A = this chain, B = another copy of it.
Amino acid sequence: MGRPGAGWGDAALKVRRLAVIGVGLIGGSTALALKRAGSVERVVGIGRGRANLERALELGVVDEIATDAASGVEGADAVVVAVPVGQFDAVLRGIAPKLDADVLVTDGGSTKQDVIAVARPALGARWPRFVPAHPIAGAEHSGVDAARADLYDGRNVVLTPEPETAPDAVDRAESLWRQCGARVARMSAAEHDGVFAAVSHLPHVLAYALVAMIAQRDDAERLFGFAAGGFRDFTRIASSSPEMWRDIALANRDALLAEIDRYGAALTGMRALVAAGDGAALQQLFAQSRDARNAWLRRIEQGR
């Protein structure tokens, strides 16, 4: 699990022609990071919106553009699929017949079991060339204007290869993401979805629920009027894309439901301590949280 990335000086992989399908924050940053590393010769940006593609060209994120994915991937030795998960089926079916036999296909989806379930039949003979990936570098901003060459520096990218995935494709995917500046970890898709249900999907649901609960009240304006910095940071992720998080919540439904239930039990336990006026137990729990969080921050600062 997880090895330290060698960083973008590692030139194990050279991409001749990279096709990026969906040139937004994730796809655009991947292109910029590989360009920074000198690891790619030419990038073709593929999407449905011509204005966004032209903006990507103008920003130097891509070198050429295509609105038809099938023709765009022709001749590419690496393809990064960075469209919303709901579009994977159509995109992968469209490109499968045009993919080179030894191509590497990887993606930027936040959930992995659902992506795999779609990709396996859609890619047909090219399925072993697909290395499912999740770069842990979201933001509440999106679009190609938010793309940055350093988005992945020091961040985790999780690969979730399946038994049929070609080992050389996995190695190339690992090299590609490491040259983007990321650390790369490998785990099963089920493990991945369980981990991120707890540390990412659940907090998003919790933040959305708090803001919605306050927004729906008659005194919402007054309540927001006295909300301060703690509230702002706690709810930052509630400014994330509703469409994207709807898809994630549904794609990872079972794991998310299990985490909501665990959290409900934890909150019920804390409520009981408040109701009982058990200051000692509350202080102990709060201190356990603070200490665990601070230890985690220290590990991050030390680069783990």
Chain A interface (Cβ < 8 Å from any Cβ of B) = 1-2, 136-139, 155-156, 158, 185, 195-196, 198-200, 202-216, 219-220, 222-243, 245-247, 249-250, 253, 256-257, 260-264, 266-268, 270-271, 274-275, 277, 279, 282-290, 292-294, 296-297, 299, 304
Q: Tell me if A230 and B138 are in contact (CB < 8 A).
A: yes
* Contact for A212 among B210, B277, B289, CB less than 8 A: B289
Q: Tell me if A199 and B215 are in contact (CB < 8 A).
A: no
Would you list 7 pairs from A and B whose C-beta atoms are within 8 A, ordered by A residue? A215-B289, A225-B304, A238-B289, A240-B290, A243-B283, A246-B282, A250-B279
Complex Cα distance, B240 from A250, in Å, reads 33
User: Assembly of this chain: how many copies?
Assistant: 2
Q: Tell me if A260 and B271 are in contact (CB < 8 A).
A: yes
CB contacts (< 8 Å) of A232 on chain B: these are 297
CB contacts (< 8 Å) of A229 on chain B: these are 138-139
CB contacts (< 8 Å) of A266 on chain B: these are 209-210, 212-213
Q: How far in angstroms is the closest Cβ of chain B from A275?
A: 6
CB contacts (< 8 Å) of A235 on chain B: these are 203, 289, 293
A-side binding surface: helix, strand, loop or mixed?
Answer: helix
Closest to A211 in B: B289
Q: How far in angstroms is the closest Cβ of chain B from A115?
A: 17
Complex Cα distance, B286 from A246, in Å, reads 8
* Contact for A242 among B185, B247, B290, CB less than 8 A: B290
Q: Tell me if B234 and A270 are in contact (CB < 8 A).
A: no
Q: How far in angstroms is the closest Cβ of chain B from A144?
A: 20
* Contact for A227 among B199, B215, B220, CB less than 8 A: B199
Q: How far in angstroms is the closest Cβ of chain B from A209?
A: 5
CB contacts (< 8 Å) of A240 on chain B: these are 230, 286, 290
